[in-house]
Amino acid sequence: MEYHDFLKQKEILDIETGFNPKEISSFLYDFQQVIVKWAIRRGRSAIFADCGLGKTPMQLEWANQILQKDNKPILILAPLAVSKQTKREGEKFGIPVNICRSQNDAINGINITNYEILHKFDPWYFNGIILDESSILKSFTGKYRNQIIDSFCKTKYRLACTATPSPNDYMELGNHSEFLGIMPRVEMLATFFVNDASNTGEWRIKKHAQYKFWEWVCSWAVMLNMPSDLGFDDNGFILPELEIHHHKIKYGKCPPGVLFALNAKTLDERREARRETIKERADVVKEIINKANGPCLIWCNLNLESETIKNLIPGTVEIKGADSVEHKENAMMGFSNKKIKILVTKPKIAGFGLNWQHCSNVIFMGLSDSYESYYQAVRRCWRFGQKNKVDVHIVTADIEANVVNNIQHKEINAVNMRKEMIKNMAPISKVEIKQSKRTRTDYSTKEESGNNWKLYLGDSVEVIKNIETDTIG
């Protein structure tokens, strides 16, 4: 085998399926315009932009450009109640959005529906698909994730939009890569990772593959926490202050022969503490609301918690899992429209996609072990566009210190790892978005040889074809 032939076998081709767009609408910020141009040229791509950086207007312009070119229908999949929010955004920017509940409602335009009712649609009908808040996929079962990926595996144009994905959750990046048709998740893991059996089977990037991995991700995804990550001005995108307040409720039960209550170690112990202190925690929540200025958003995990709050505090609107879709959407939009002042619900119901910058009082009536759930719940209010300091109140029993410490530890790790991820990706993203076409070869994972040549572990080569496009920064 000749060396040239060997390289051909090792190529990972990121073939563009898009086109050069028409003039991008001026309602987008400069950094958003450049991202949308890049995404349209790519055809299949992901936008990982932090909360409030304008994923909704970017995906609407992306869909509108494709609709104008091909005159074929587009579908947006979104979390519950985000459909109405997106339609409202579309009206603001002059882009019609059709909310539909089944295939019979779909039109030759931009359609939007909820993830939960995807089974009522014919994926082959649509020329383009957008996953809004695409990280929600990891909240579904493997069967549902596979349904979404399989349903749109032949769709010409694909876009996934979410906030910066969990930096230690490489499976999430693999899900996006597979949905976009870039590379199956299992192949991504085999190519760039090793399974670290010494650390509970965690997947770890191969040391010699770090740069190549992020370079590969940047060929189909753009990631930013701030516009400056791509060389733009951060003016208007500086977050206000976030202040965390911890409220501990004394839980009186002590084991025999012990003077003080011990921290709960098991899930059953924590559940008992939560159930036994509902009234006391609800009283603290009421005190917080009485002192608060403006709307209040209360997050809980138990139906009894939300029911207690609803009965204790007049004017509170409750959303629980058993409620109808109509009630859930009306309540969420009522809070968005400032018609509802106090809303209590669960992060798994309303923790994704909604823009509640008008609210600066966030209350957790207890915590779960999920940092992702906590992060998303906070970011409904603490996001770009928020004008006031955001106060987050966490109300727990004193013996729940372990879960509070666990969330704090995960938060520190997530912040540090997210910074590292952006640090790795930002320089490559600037170059990638300036380019229209990249054809690259993968590094070798073992020794290879041929006629008068030998390639060792970690060696890499790449072929990059540049064409003139927009300049960043």
Sort strands 438-441 and 11-14 into parallel, antiparallel or unpaired. antiparallel
Could you report the per-residue pLDDT of 54-68, keeping only the tens digit for each? Answer: 999 999 999 999 999
The DSSP annotation for 31-42 comes to HHHHHHHHHHHH
pLDDT at 253: 63
Could you report the per-residue pLDDT of 298-313, keeping only the tens digit for each? Answer: 999 999 999 999 999 9
- The secondary element (H helix, E strand) that includes residue 155 is none
Both structure tokens of 251: 């839980």
- pLDDT: is 343 or 52 the higher one? 343
pLDDT at 468: 32
Contact 284, 277 (CB under 8 A): no
Contact 392, 434 (CB under 8 A): no
Could you report the per-residue pLDDT of 251-298, keeping only the tens digit for each? Answer: 756 655 555 555 666 767 777 778 888 999 999 999 999 999 999 999
Contact 247, 393 (CB under 8 A): yes
Confidence of residue 461 (pLDDT cuts 50, 70, 90): very low
Confidence of residue 42 (pLDDT cuts 50, 70, 90): very high
Could you report the per-residue pLDDT of 348-403, keeping only the tens digit for each? Answer: 999 888 999 999 999 999 888 888 889 889 999 999 889 999 999 999 988 777 77
- pLDDT: is 66 or 202 the higher one? 66
CA distances from 65 to 25, 59, 95, 426 (A): 10, 10, 10, 26
Contacts of 13 (CB under 8 A, 6+ apart): 439
Tell me which amino acid residue 84 is: K
Q: Domains for the chain: give ranges and CATH numbers.
A: 3-233+417-463 (3.40.50.10810), 242-413 (3.40.50.300)
pLDDT at 437: 39
Residue written as tokens 């719940």? 377
74-78 β-sheet, strand order: 98-99, 110-114, 74-78, 128-132, 157-162, 44-49, 221-224
CA distance 394 to 247: 6
pLDDT at 335: 97
User: Exposed/middle/buried for 97, CB within 10 Å: 0-12, 13-18, 19+?
Assistant: buried
User: Exposed/middle/buried for 269, CB within 10 Å: 0-12, 13-18, 19+?
Assistant: middle
